[in-house]
Amino acid sequence: MEKIKIIEIFDSIEGEGSLIGYPVTFIRLEGCNLRCSWCDTKYSYDTENYKLLSLSEIMLLIKEFSNKRVCLTGGEPFYNKGFRVLFEEILKENYFLIVETNGTLFDSIIKELWDNYKNKIHLVCSPKPFSDFYINEKLIPYIKELKFIVDEFLKIENILDVLDNFKTDLSLILQPESNRQDMFEKARKLQKELLLKNNLEFRIIPQVHKIFNID
Ligand code: SF4
């Protein structure tokens, strides 16, 4: 089987969103279909600085860390040719699988494995202003958490437009861009407005790995 382009595999805590603080093994896949101006993982695309690893080499590395949770991140994990086999193998090895995606792409492997593994799949979608907050409609039924980066572009209308497409309960997160104080204040205003006018309860959660200066 073709080897998979991997930027890094590392042991840390979940630093963002509703699962913050859990010990997690991160697999950062090479490549992304977007180019967000404030991207903090630019080193994961437009680079030759990746490792080519086989599926069995990756699974051995994951086992070394002994974490129950594995996160496929990037870049954009769906964009990487190895996504499909990794997604399947990690679930079959009984890990809780977190996927962090910009939401624009889809792979039918999610649908194929959903019935057997839906309690072990945590798909976090962070729609981006750089793709007009587009979310692939095939992905929508599998998303469990929506995370909006509160930056200079985000408007309440963007959030409401995205939520119009969802029918089920979700974790709703506002994440101030780069833990900026001014973006926290903007997030707080959005949080109040969404609650008062739309009866939507969002949590404001910073990036804790940046507070503690860890990966
Ligand atoms: S989608 Fe994510 S990884 Fe890709 S450019 Fe945007 S922030 Fe960076």
Domain boundaries, the chain: 4-211
For residue 31, whether the previous peptide bond is cis, meaning omega lies within 30 degrees of 0, is no
Task: Look over the chain and give the mean of its residue pLDDT values, rounded to a whole number.
Answer: 96
Asked if residues 122 and 145 have their Cβ atoms less than 8 Å apart, the reply is yes
CA–centroid distance, residue 124 to ligand 1 (Å): 13
Tens of pLDDT, residue by residue over 143-167, are 999 999 999 999 999 999 999 999 8
Q: According to the model, what pLDDT value does residue 104 have? A: 98
Ligand 1 site residues, Cβ closer than 6 angstroms: 32, 34-36, 39, 41, 74-76, 102, 128
- For residue 38, give the ligand 1 atom closest to its CA: 7
Question: According to the CATH classification, is domain 4-211 in 3.20.20.70?
Answer: yes
CA–centroid distance, residue 125 to ligand 1 (Å): 12
Give every CB contact of residue 134 below 8 A, 6+ residues apart in sequence: 103, 104, 127
Residue 40 zone, left/alpha/beta (φ > 0; ψ -120 to 50; rest): alpha
The model's confidence at residue 135, banded by pLDDT at 50, 70 and 90, is very high
Nearest protein CA to atom 6 of ligand 1, as residue = 36
In angstroms, the CA 126 to CA 61 distance is 27
CA–centroid distance, residue 197 to ligand 1 (Å): 31
CA–centroid distance, residue 26 to ligand 1 (Å): 16
Instruction: State the pTM of this model.
Output: 0.96
